[in-house]
Copies of this chain bind each other. A is one copy, B any other.
Amino acid sequence: MLVSAAQTYQIDDSKGKAGRPRSDESHRAILDATRRLLTHMPVHKLSVEAIAKKAGVGKTTIYRWWPNKQAVVMDAVFSQPAFLNILPASATAFEGIKVQIEKLLRQLAGKNGRMVAEILGEAQGDMEALKSFSQGFFQERYDALARYLSEGKDSGEFRADLDMESAIDLIMGPIFFRLITGQDFDPAFEKNLIDSLRRGLSA
């Protein structure tokens, strides 16, 4: 099974270690509370204290498992089932890319999209956080696209001189540009993006 790499901070009781084991319940409560609070307020208005209170948990417990607010929020948002990225096999490489785009647009619509934008925003100015965000969210989507592009090039479906990295920028760029400039994804945008990519990638 392909599980989201976003679940960065997982519980691991495999080792028979001494000491009281980590409370699975607290862990869930923290993530739940974070998600719940984020529906009412933007990330920068969310405080660790508020999470602790809402989750019925000591602040220490949060700081024991996550280094800062960012990490908790990323974990809370990205570990949602809606952000799982399991994709069906597709007939053609371009079909795969198209499905990936459609899925991403659905994931980034509405509240969840705002949350992602805010997390990405807060990560600017902190390279560590930015790397962490990339690993938690972009990596698997990037990999999936890369796989399709590579397949398409090999099969002759796509242009032979295609630069993979730039192609990914061309796919993801417009989506995130609209996200961070606060414009929503209307059907016209989706259609135009896909049409444009079809023209740009095809052999």
Contact = CB atoms under 8 A, between A and B. Distances in A.
Contacts of A127: 182
Q: For the complex formed by this chain, how many copies does it contain in all?
A: 4
A63 interface: no
Contact of A175 (B42, B173, B193): B173
B181 A134 contact: yes
Contacts of A109: none
A196 B42 contact: no
Interface residues of A, number: 41
Contacts of A44: 122, 125-126
Interface in A93-140: 114, 117-118, 120-127, 130-131, 134, 138
A42 to B, nearest CB: 3
Interface stretch (A26-34, A78-86, A163-171): A163-171
Closest 9 CB pairs of A and B: A42-B125, A173-B173, A121-B124, A121-B121, A173-B174, A166-B192, A173-B177, A169-B174, A118-B125
